């Protein structure tokens, strides 16, 4: 029995569960997709909230620039480049025998300053928001004063009365820990068993308390939640439910709009934009997708990508059970090389709020993540961590689908020929060289061994 029903009954009502259990890479195009104008009403946030978050990050730019000199080139704004993947696009289209139409781009969040992953958006934003709330309430800063003064011993002594806790598979902990420690907060990161050793070492060097668990992400989050609940001076960063985290990710949308414009890329009904987002618990891809739907409406098509061993969001949305189901319930092990995506139970908030806004969900094998990692390096000289490659096969899935998805949305040949495909490269630049070399070696071996 699985959640009070025999497996047969599940397979009858939800046939894709057989492939999920069999760990087969699969794509599911959302039959419940609705026009953005209607479906954005499902999310309890507006474009005004995103712009408010964006303005807050601008207020903090002088602090960021002072505290993290690597952000000087962008004047304290934490943003990543948009990079064309011409060579890789040509190689993959030839390999998979699909027409080389449209263009393929990388949103290189692997290059985000401070923590080298997409978590430098939501994670850092949430801590800054909390710091601002405390500083304004106590009079440590007055509205309109430059926030660079928060990079001071006085401010650190003030924030040192407070603590921040978070549960993480690694990258969120890295972002929260680094920014919290720099502001002066006492920070505790509860790390799941998937977390890489170098991330824990790095945090400890910053003075962050790292607590390690032999269990998975959901347990680490629960422990963080409990620690915080027992301490009124402690703020818990709730990766599963936080609206602030979500808004921090959503800020990416306006900035991408500007970058696309600067690159001469048109996005409208005749020129669709497809965005492929690696998904763990869902906050990162959900927040980015929310911002993109606000900005581009029905011209943008967002798809979430998960490892075959951790398809929590696909399972939650497909069954309609959201956070009421975990991959373990169906005997799926949640063991993957994509440590940033090793999540067994999705965010119920994201799954529900975004379920009419996401075009589709697909799964990728670890072997394909490694192969993509090696191909991206060979063709473009770019180095991403395994999780960040989940977006790469997305455009092939869209081109190869036979579920009537493109037809349903009016994505005909002419529109597809003008499409822009964007894989969100969610992390990698902080991975130590030896570790990256091992990933690459693994990918090259798999490429060499591939059946032809």
Ligand X SMILES: *Cc1c(COP(=O)(O)O)cnc(C)c1O
Residues that bind ligand X (CB under 6 A): 117-119, 171-172, 278-285, 340-341, 385, 387-388, 426-427
Report in angstroms how near the CB of residue 314 gets to ligand X at its nearest: 12
Q: Is 181 left (phi over 0), alpha (psi -120 to 50) or beta?
A: alpha
Of 256 and 281, nearer to ligand X (C-beta) is 281
User: How large is the greatest C-alpha to C-alpha distance in the chain, in angstroms?
Assistant: 67
Report in angstroms how near the CB of residue 336 gets to ligand X at its nearest: 12
3-class state of residue 71 by DSSP: helix
Of 118 and 155, nearer to ligand X (C-beta) is 118
Report in angstroms how near the CB of residue 432 gets to ligand X at its nearest: 15
Pairing of strands 163-168, 234-237: parallel
* Sole residue written with tokens 């607590």: 211
Report in angstroms how near the CB of residue 338 gets to ligand X at its nearest: 8
Report in angstroms how near the CB of residue 20 gets to ligand X at its nearest: 18
Here the tokens at position 271 are 């020129």
Of 208 and 281, nearer to ligand X (C-beta) is 281
Determine the Cα angle at 56 with ends 53 and 57, to 5°: 90
Report in angstroms how near the CB of residue 276 gets to ligand X at its nearest: 11
The CA distance from 316 to 20, in Å, is: 12
Report in angstroms how near the CB of residue 387 gets to ligand X at its nearest: 4
Pairing of strands 300-307, 360-364: parallel
The CA distance from 291 to 288, in Å, is: 5
Query: Which residue in 171, 59, 169, 83 sits closest to 121, CA to CA?
Result: 171
Of 141 and 313, nearer to ligand X (C-beta) is 313
Of 372 and 427, nearer to ligand X (C-beta) is 427
Of 163 and 169, nearer to ligand X (C-beta) is 169
Here the tokens at position 355 are 């379920």
Report in angstroms how near the CB of residue 341 gets to ligand X at its nearest: 6
Long-range contacts of 81-86 (CB under 8 A, 24+ apart): 81/108, 81/111, 81/259, 82/106, 82/107, 82/108, 82/256, 82/259, 82/260, 82/263, 82/422, 83/108, 83/380, 83/382, 84/263, 85/376, 85/379, 85/380, 85/423
Whether 131 and 123 have beta carbons less than 8 Å apart is answered as no
Of 53 and 118, nearer to ligand X (C-beta) is 118
Of 272 and 283, nearer to ligand X (C-beta) is 283
Report in angstroms how near the CB of residue 322 gets to ligand X at its nearest: 14
Of 243 and 416, nearer to ligand X (C-beta) is 243
The CA distance from 187 to 161, in Å, is: 11
Report in angstroms how near the CB of residue 110 gets to ligand X at its nearest: 8
Of 295 and 384, nearer to ligand X (C-beta) is 384
Whether 131 and 183 have beta carbons less than 8 Å apart is answered as yes
Q: Using the CB atoms, write b or e for 29-56: b if 16+ within 10 Å.
A: bbeebeebeebbeebebebebbeebbeb
CB-nearest residue to ligand X: 280
């Amino acid at each position: 029995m699985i959640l009070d029903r025999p497996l047969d009954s599940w397979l009858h009502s939800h046939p894709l569960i057989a492939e999920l259990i069999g760990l087969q890479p699969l794509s599911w195009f959302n039959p419940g997709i609705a026009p953005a104008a209607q479906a954005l009403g499902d999310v309890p946030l507006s474009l005004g909230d995103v712009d408010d978050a964006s303005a807050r990050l601008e207020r903090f730019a002088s602090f960021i620039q002072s505290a993290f000199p690597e952000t000087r080139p962008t004047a304290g704004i934490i943003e990543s480049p948009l990079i064309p993947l011409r060579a890789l696009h040509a190689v993959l289209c030839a390999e998979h025998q699909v027409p080389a139409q449209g263009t393929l781009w990388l949103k290189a969040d692997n290059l985000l300053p401070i923590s080298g992953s997409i978590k430098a958006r939501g994670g850092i934003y949430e801590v800054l928001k909390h710091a601002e709330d405390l500083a304004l309430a106590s009079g440590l800063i007055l509205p309109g004063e430059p926030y660079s003064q928060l990079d001071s011993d006085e401010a650190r002594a003030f924030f040192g009365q407070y603590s921040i806790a978070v549960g993480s598979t690694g990258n969120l902990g890295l972002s929260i820990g680094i920014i919290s420690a720099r502001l002066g907060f006492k920070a505790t990161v509860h790390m799941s068993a998937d977390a890489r050793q170098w991330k824990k070492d790095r945090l400890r060097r910053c003075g962050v308390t790292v607590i390690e668990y032999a269990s998975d992400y959901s347990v680490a989050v629960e422990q963080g939640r409990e620690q915080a609940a027992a301490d009124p001076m402690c703020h818990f960063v709730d990766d599963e439910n936080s609206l602030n985290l979500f808004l921090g990710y959503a800020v990416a949308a306006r900035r991408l709009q500007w970058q696309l414009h600067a690159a001469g890329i048109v996005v409208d009904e005749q020129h669709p934009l497809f965005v492929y987002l690696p998904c763990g618990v869902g906050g990162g891809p959900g927040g980015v997708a929310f911002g993109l739907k606000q900005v581009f409406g029905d011209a943008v098509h967002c798809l979430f990508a998960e490892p075959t061993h951790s398809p929590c969001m696909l399972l939650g949305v497909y069954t309609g059970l959201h956070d009421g189901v975990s991959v373990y319930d169906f005997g799926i092990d949640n063991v993957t090389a994509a440590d940033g995506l090793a999540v067994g139970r999705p965010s119920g908030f994201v799954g529900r709020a975004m379920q009419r806004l996401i075009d589709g969900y697909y799964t990728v094998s670890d072997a394909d993540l490694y192969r993509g990692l090696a191909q991206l390096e060979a063709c473009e000289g770019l180095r991403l961590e395994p999780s960040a490659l989940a977006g790469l096969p997305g455009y092939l899935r869209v081109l190869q689908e036979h579920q009537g998805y493109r037809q349903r949305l009016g994505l005909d040949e002419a529109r597809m020929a003008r499409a822009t495909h964007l894989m969100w490269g969610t992390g990698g630049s902080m991975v130590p060289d030896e570790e990256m070399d091992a990933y690459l070696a693994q990918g090259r071996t798999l490429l060499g061994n591939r059946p032809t």
